[in-house]
């Protein structure tokens, strides 16, 4: 049963990262054209803290594996060692994806603020 802990932690980290990306895409109207986009708010601090938590959760399975590897049988260790690089690459891509969509939401929020200021400006 201890052999499943790193994999379960990794799955939680993947789910968390995908959730953050999805929420940010939705709230930031990332794929909506500027002409049809409703006003966008800046990235909430809650999302920034969730991103930091996601980063920690993405790293966590690897040291946990190092701690419990001696308790696993040889087959489980071979599996984890074979899958470590692809797992790390996927986690890194997702964490960088979080940063990218948060940047896009921030850019959309800036454009919304500029549009609001320009529309309220008196000629």
User: Are 47 and 99 a contacting pair, CB within 8 Å?
Assistant: no
Rounded to the nearest 10°, the torsion over CA 111, 114, 120, 122 is -140
pLDDT of residue 123: 65
Q: What is the pLDDT of residues 8-29, one digit of tens each?
A: 999 999 999 999 999 999 999 9
Residue bearing tokens 């309220």 = 120
- Domain residue ranges in the chain: 2-120
Coil, helix or strand at residue 48: helix
pTM of the model: 0.89
Buried b (16+ CB within 10 A) or exposed e, 19-54: ebbebbbebbbbeeeeeebeebeebeeebeebbeeb
């Amino acid at each position: 049963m201890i052999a499943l802990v790193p994999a379960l932690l990794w799955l939680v980290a993947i789910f968390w990262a995908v959730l953050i990306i999805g929420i940010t895409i939705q709230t930031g109207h990332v794929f909506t054209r500027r002409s049809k986009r409703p006003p966008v708010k800046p990235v909430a601090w809650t999302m920034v803290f969730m991103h930091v938590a996601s980063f920690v959760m993405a790293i966590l399975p690897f040291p946990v594996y190092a701690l419990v590897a001696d308790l696993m049988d040889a087959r489980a260790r071979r599996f984890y060692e074979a899958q470590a690089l692809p797992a790390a690459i996927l986690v890194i891509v997702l964490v960088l994806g979080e940063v990218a969509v948060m940047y896009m939401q921030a850019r959309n929020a800036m454009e919304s603020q500029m549009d609001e200021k320009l529309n309220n400006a008196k000629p």
